[in-house]
Structure formats: C-alpha cells, structure tokens
C-alpha cells in the first residue's frame, strides 16, 4: 500500500512489518493478560457480578433504562433550546450593525471560554437561591441550563460558519434581484445553510450527550452514569457496571457520529446543494474561543 507517507513496500519493508506486528501482538497480549489477571485476582470476573446484565431485566429496567432516559431527555432538551438561541446569536454576529454584532460576539466568546461544569454549578445554585423549583428537579434544570448556555455559543459559531460557507454569489444574486437584507438571510442564506450545517449539528449532539454525564457525577442528576453508581452500590460490580455504561454511551455516540459522517458525505455528493458543507469535524474547532476564518475559507 502506498500513501503520502510511505511507498509501496518491497520485501525488506514487508519483513520489517511482520516483525513490528509480532512485537505489537506480544505487547498487546501482555496487556490483555495483565488486565485479565488483575481483574481475576479481585474477583471482578465472577459470573454473579455480570449476571444482572445478561439474565433477567431488573438491572435494565430499574437502573439503566431510567438513567438512559434522563440522559437522552437532558440532551434533547438542551439541543432544542440551544438551537434557536444559537441561530439568533450566530445571525447577530453577522449583523451589519456594530451594536448588535459586538454584544453577540462577546456573549459567544465568553460562554465558549468557560467549562460546562462551571455553568452547571452556577445553574444549580441559581435555582436553589432564586426559584422554588423542587430539589428533585433542580439538577435537571441546572444540567440543561449549563448545556444550553455553552452549546448555544458553539451552535452560534456553527450557524455563522454555515452561512459564511455558502458561495458569495448566493447573497449577491439575492441582493441583485432586490431582496432586503432580512429577506436575503431568511429566504436565501438560512435555508441553504441549514443543510450545510446539519452534520456539524449532529456531531455537537454527541458532545451534549457526553456532557450530561457531568450532571450525574457532580450534581446528583440521575442519568446513566449515576445509575451505574447506584448499581455498584447494589450489586458491588464496579467493573461490570462501568463496562455496560461505557458500551451504551459508545453505542449511542458512535451511531450519532456515523450518522453525521453519512450525512456529510451525502450532502457533499448531492446535486441540488451548493456543495458547501460544514464538516462533522468542524465542531472541535468551533468550540474553542478565537476566530476561525480558515474554516470558512476552506469550504
């Protein structure tokens, strides 16, 4: 196989590859063996500890499913609330008026620079202090608030990058046929950029799902990770519970990631679109404070 970094391989390189493979297999086997023996030493491989997940539905219906429901509920709520906020902020950052553009930029940069957990801790204290939301509901409100504040800022950047990714001719043609600024945005740019930024929005959903776990670990929000904690207390199966929870998270997020890249490929190949697509990878870049003109140019 030939690539950017190396040529098609001759006999010597092939022999060296076999050697590398052998050494790597040995190292990997040693690692697996070490993990196996240390788990076995502590009795973590006992069937009784794994049994709850494979026989009967108690573990699933009492702990995992309610936890997963809360995880998905918080993620969905956060996305649904953050999307319109993000769209407004993103469009505001593109405004011709300085007094709209600058405050929107400040808000976006501020919330992108702060960890979600700090926003969640702020949220839970805020609701405890100034509202009479019951203490059972407070964690959910705080988690969603933290996620919304942070993700609205990131989504604002996605919206802005999505609009800027469109070919210039779209806005120019719209102005040329006499549309007003608001019509250009509403009738021409936004509808096209929505498809352009769909992959990026789906990948941001992965970030949201992952961040809900913070609520479980720090704010007593009963989501999937904290249900693992409860199971560990009940069954005493730390390794088994963590494995199952991790697998569920991987399954949910991997399907979202795959969906995003499928969508991206489809949109890039599509005949009807302008070909401007904000890739699923763009979110990593847009989540960091600072200007990312290169991203818009790249498209």
Least separation in angstroms between residue 271's CB and another protein is 26
Choice between 190 and 210, CB closer to another protein: 210
- The distance of closest approach from Cβ of residue 297 to another protein in the complex, given in angstroms and rounded to an integer, is 10
The nearest distance, CB 175 to another protein, in angstroms, is: 30
- 94 binding another protein? (CB under 8 A): no
234 binds another protein per the rule CB under 8 A:
no
Q: Which residue has the tokens 């996620």?
A: 147
What lies within 8 Å, CB to CB, of 30 at 6+ separation is none
Question: Binding to another protein by residue 54, rule CB under 8 A?
Answer: no
Stretch that binds another protein, among 57-65, 97-105, 264-272, 279-287 (CB under 8 A): 279-287
Phi, psi of 137 (to 5 degrees): -85, -20
Nearer to another protein, 69 or 253 (CB): 253
Long-range contacts of 41-50 (CB under 8 A, 24+ apart): 44/237, 44/238, 44/239, 44/240, 49/235, 49/236, 49/237, 49/239, 49/240, 50/237, 50/240
Shortest CB 110 distance to another protein, Å: 7
Nearer to another protein, 178 or 290 (CB): 290
Cα dihedral angle (40, 43, 47, 51), rounded to 10 degrees? -120
Question: How far apart, in whole angstroms, are the C-alpha atoms of residue 111 and residue 107?
Answer: 6
CA distance 147 to 154: 10
Q: Does 250 bind another protein (CB under 8 A)?
A: yes
- Of the candidates 82, 207, 203, 67, the residue with the CA atom closest to the CA atom of residue 140: 67
Q: By CB under 8 A, is residue 48 in contact with another protein? A: no
Q: Does 32 bind another protein (CB under 8 A)?
A: no
Burial class (CB in 10 A: 0-12, 13-18, 19+), 218: middle
135 binds another protein (CB under 8 A): no
As measured in angstroms, the least distance from the Cβ of 86 to another protein is: 18
Return residues touching another protein (CB under 8 A): 1, 3-7, 9, 13, 17, 20-21, 24-25, 28, 38-39, 42, 44, 109-110, 113-118, 121-122, 125-126, 129, 206, 209-214, 216-218, 225, 229, 232, 238-239, 242, 245-246, 249-250, 253-254, 257, 281, 284-285, 287-292, 294
């Amino acid at each position: 196989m030939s690539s950017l970094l190396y040529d098609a391989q001759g006999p010597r390189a092939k022999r060296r590859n076999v050697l590398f493979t052998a050494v790597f297999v040995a190292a990997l086997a040693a690692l697996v063996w070490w993990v196996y023996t240390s788990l076995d030493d502590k009795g973590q491989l006992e069937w009784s500890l794994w049994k709850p997940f494979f026989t009967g539905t108690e573990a699933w219906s009492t702990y995992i499913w309610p936890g997963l429901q809360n995880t998905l509920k918080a993620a969905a709520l956060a996305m649904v609330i953050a999307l319109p906020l993000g769209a407004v902020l993103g469009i505001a950052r593109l405004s011709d008026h300085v007094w709209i553009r600058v405050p929107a930029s400040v808000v976006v940069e501020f919330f992108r620079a702060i960890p979600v957990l700090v926003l969640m801790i702020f949220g839970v204290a805020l609701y405890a202090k100034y509202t009479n939301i019951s203490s059972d509901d407070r964690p959910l409100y705080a988690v969603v608030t933290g996620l919304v504040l942070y993700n609205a800022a990131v989504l604002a950047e996605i919206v802005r990058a999505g609009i800027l990714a469109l070919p210039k001719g779209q806005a120019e043609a719209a102005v040329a046929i006499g549309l007003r600024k608001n019509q250009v945005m509403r009738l021409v740019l936004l509808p096209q950029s929505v498809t352009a930024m769909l992959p990026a929005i789906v990948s941001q959903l992965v970030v949201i799902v992952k961040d809900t776990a913070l609520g479980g670990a720090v704010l007593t929000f009963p989501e999937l990770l904290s249900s693992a904690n409860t199971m560990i207390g009940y069954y005493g199966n730390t390794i088994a519970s963590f494995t199952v929870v991790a697998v569920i998270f991987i399954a949910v997020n991997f399907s979202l990631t795959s969906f995003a890249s499928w969508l991206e490929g489809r949109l890039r190949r599509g005949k009807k679109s302008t070909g401007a697509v904000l890739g699923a990878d763009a979110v990593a870049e847009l989540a960091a404070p600072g200007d990312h003109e290169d991203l818009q140019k790249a498209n």
